[in-house]
Structure formats: C-alpha cells, structure tokens
Structure 1
Amino acid sequence: MACPICEKDTDPKYRPFCSRRCADVDLGRWLNGSYAMAANSPEDLDEAAEAVSQALSQETSKPH
C-alpha cells in the first residue's frame, strides 16, 4: 500500500501513511478545508445558511 501523500510504502506505525510527517500533512489539509466539497445545489446552500442562522441565534440567546 502506498502513502496517499507521498506515494512511498506505508509504515504500520503510521498506516495508511509512511511517516508522522505525512500524517501531519494530511491532518493539516483536513483542518484548513482542503478536502471540503463544494455544494452544487441551491438547496444545500439554503440548508447551510439556515443552519448557520440557527446556530448564531442559539449562541446569542445563551446567558453568559
């Protein structure tokens, strides 16, 4: 099996990666949104906007 980041052979300790470095590169990609998929349908955008609106209204209604 090849490392999905650099294509070297994987190390059982870091599987499916070859090293801690490649595992960290993958984590960084997840955290910065590189693996996000764009929504194509307007319904998805409307649902996302509604979810954000609800989350913000719940956050402002909580006592501090």
Structure 2
Amino acid sequence: MSNSTNKKVINVNCPTCQTVVEWVERNEHRPFCSDRCRLIDLGAWAAEDYKIAGKPASEWDMADVTMGNEPTTLQ
C-alpha cells in the first residue's frame, strides 16, 4: 500500500466565503477557494479592515519607521 492512500484529507473553510476547501498541495490558493477570494482578503488587509491586537504605535514610533531610522529604546 502506498503512502498516498493513507493520507488523511483535511478540509478547511475559505476565510472569505466559507466554502469547504481541501488542504492539498495542488490547491495553489489554499486556504482560499480561489484567486478571487485571496484578492478580496488581501484588499481587506490593505484597507485596514483587519487589525492585529497590540499596543498602538505612537506618532514618534511611526515617524522613525517612515524616515528609515532604527527604533530607539530608552535605557
């Protein structure tokens, strides 16, 4: 018996439309069901519809990043 017949198929829901998708290597869009859903998700991140919880950055921190300066730490 080959190893490929023993593999368990994992199904996930597309994060955008909730369609059930097989998590397999041949699915180039995983975890999404299609390129369209992948691009919708990317657009939502770009529009800042999604946010990662954390301490808000101060205006000074953001100025350092946009000016290309290394972050400084107080000692």
TM-score, reference length from structure 2: 0.53
Two-structure CA RMSD over aligned residues (Å): 2.5
Percent sequence identity over matched residues? 30
Report the Cα distance in structure 2 between the residues aligned to 1:2 and 1:24, rounded to whole angstroms.
16
| CA 38–49 in structure 1, closer or farther in 2 if over 3 Å, else same | farther
**More strand per residue: 1 or 2?**
2
- Where do 5+ consecutive residues of structure 1 fail to align? 60-64
State whether structure 2 residue 13 is matched by structure 1 residue 2: yes
Aligned residue-pair number:
53
Query: What secondary structure, in the 3-state scheme, does the structure 1 residue paired with 2:21 have?
Result: coil
**More helix per residue: 1 or 2?**
1
Where does residue 52 of structure 1 map in the other structure? Answer: 62
TM-score, reference length from structure 1: 0.61
- Where do 5+ consecutive residues of structure 2 fail to align? 1-11, 69-75
Report the Cα distance in structure 2 between the residues aligned to 1:7 and 1:15, rounded to whole angstroms.
12
Mark the structure with the bigger radius of gyration.
Answer: 2
The one-letter code of the counterpart of 2:31 is P
- Equivalence map 1:1-64=2 (5 Å): 1-10=12-21, 12-37=27-52, 44-45=55-56, 47-55=57-65, 58=67
In the TM superposition, structure 1's runs of 4+ consecutive aligned residues that sit over 6 Å from their partners are: none
